[in-house]
Amino acid sequence: MTQDLYTYKEIKQQPEVWLKACDIILKHKQEIKAFVDRYVSEGFEIIMTGAGTSAYIGDALEPALFDTPFRGARAIATTDILTAPEFYFNKDSKVLLISFARSGNSPESIGAVKAVEATAGRIAHIFITCNAEGQLALRKGDNILCVLLPPETNDLSLAMTSSYSTMLLSCSMIANIDRLEEHKKYIETLSSCVKAAMEKYESEIEQLTRRDFKRAIFLGSGPLQGVAEESRLKLQELTDGAVMCAFDSFLGFRHGPKALVNPESLLVYLISPMEKIRRYELDLIRQIQANNTVTASVVVCLQNPGVPADLCVELGFKDDMPACYGCVAYVFTAQMLGMFKSINSGLCPDTPSVSGNISRVVEGVTLYI
């Protein structure tokens, strides 16, 4: 039964755990605010880091935090930091390193922390993690703030779903810590709208995955390009690579990657809530519809933009939602696409890697530090 799968439960629990995470952060508001204010006021550069899905959180947030005190924060994957920290830091660097980690035990998470500590002149840490027993959560120090999320976000499935979305939202709430009481209404709206959309479109998403597509392309602009990056991974890993996936920005896609489109393709368009961005996106969608044959197309949007699609997932909230919150609403469509395509391909979404090429916590990495 689908309902018995960890993957299914962890996708569906997201609206509820977002509210729990908001309550946790509000409960610790004064501690978080004092820590953030201290290092931001001292001019520490904010670096967001993680590996794989955890890295993609930073990729989405880098543009999404434009109207917060975290504006200018950079996303650098732990996998890049670990191999050559001197590319990014030196003895003059003052770094506030925000580490995203489901388990807090992956070798790159630990290694990147040590590499930055050995390279930067001054460093402080914010660990946003889902595992109270992980190595990151157990680290202590005056320069460390650990934000421990609800235990159910420590996804048991191979694929990160509720861990991804809740860590992303938690960083957004920390960036808006001064206004979080006021912003709680956005989290509540996000939760109710995504819960309703999941119920409304679940069956249609499942039906669409019965089509025989061999590749999938996810497109998004700004923060939604980062969400497209994570969406691409979800479908690819949950099908054990049987569906090859790509992502890009709408404008970037024309510059070569558009060659990927063929009759075996699924196109998933993450439509911006901003009208000035959306006009570029709709132009590309119309061009593809006029010139290409694909297996299916999916539009994920606030309200139907009026372009033909096999499925239009309307999220239903208003365009005044801050980008750093609203962008996460778009990911559940890909999570469900991946889960149902996995099932329809004869795999188990909780453990889809028949080959054993990927695992829940990465193994086999030797740390040379």
Residue 225 — φ and ψ, nearest 5°? -70, -40
Within a domain: 368: no
Within a domain: 98: yes
Within a domain: 329: yes
Helix (H) or strand (E) holding 215: strand 215-219
Within a domain: 183: no
Domain stops at, among 175, 206, 225: 175
Alpha helices by DSSP H, listed for the chain, are 6-12, 14-27, 29-41, 53-64, 78-83, 107-119, 135-138, 162-175, 180-208, 223-238, 250-253, 275-291, 323-326, 331-344
Per-residue pLDDT of 202-214, as tens digits, reads 999 999 999 999 9
Only one residue has tokens 């990160």, namely: 160
Q: Does 47 or 365 have the greater pLDDT score?
A: 47
Q: What pTM does this model have? A: 0.96
What is the count of structural domains for the chain? 2
Q: Are residues 171 and 299 in the same domain?
A: no
Per-residue pLDDT of 157-170, as tens digits, reads 999 999 999 999 99
Within a domain: 38: yes
Pick from 103, 58, 116: nearest CA to 327: 58
Q: Are residues 237 and 296 in the same domain?
A: yes
Please report, for the domain that includes residue 323, its CATH number.
3.40.50.10490
* 3-state SS, residue 125: strand
Per-residue pLDDT of 253-267, as tens digits, reads 999 999 999 999 999
Only one residue has tokens 């660990």, namely: 127
Q: How many whole angstroms separate alpha carbon 92 and alpha carbon 123?
A: 11
Q: Are residues 124 and 194 in the same domain?
A: no
Q: Are residues 233 and 258 in the same domain?
A: yes
Within a domain: 23: yes
Q: How many whole angstroms separate alpha carbon 15 and alpha carbon 328?
A: 11
Contact 69, 56 (CB under 8 A): no
Per-residue pLDDT of 130-147, as tens digits, reads 999 999 999 999 999 999
Mean pLDDT, residues 93-120: 95
Average pLDDT value for the chain: 95
Per-residue pLDDT of 275-296, as tens digits, reads 999 999 999 999 999 999 999 9
Q: Are residues 51 and 148 in the same domain?
A: yes
Q: Are residues 295 and 271 in the same domain?
A: yes
Domain stops at, among 175, 198, 218: 175
Q: Are residues 165 and 225 in the same domain?
A: no
Q: Are residues 41 and 146 in the same domain?
A: yes
Q: How many whole angstroms separate alpha carbon 36 and alpha carbon 96?
A: 9
Alpha helices by DSSP H, listed for 42-94, are 53-64, 78-83
Q: Does 368 or 104 have the greater pLDDT score?
A: 104
Q: Are residues 16 and 147 in the same domain?
A: yes
Q: Are residues 27 and 154 in the same domain?
A: yes
Q: What is the CA radius of gyration of the chain?
A: 20
Domain that holds residue 278: 189-344
Within a domain: 180: no
Within a domain: 359: no
Q: Are residues 13 and 154 in the same domain?
A: yes
Q: Are residues 123 and 265 in the same domain?
A: no
Mean pLDDT, residues 36-52: 97
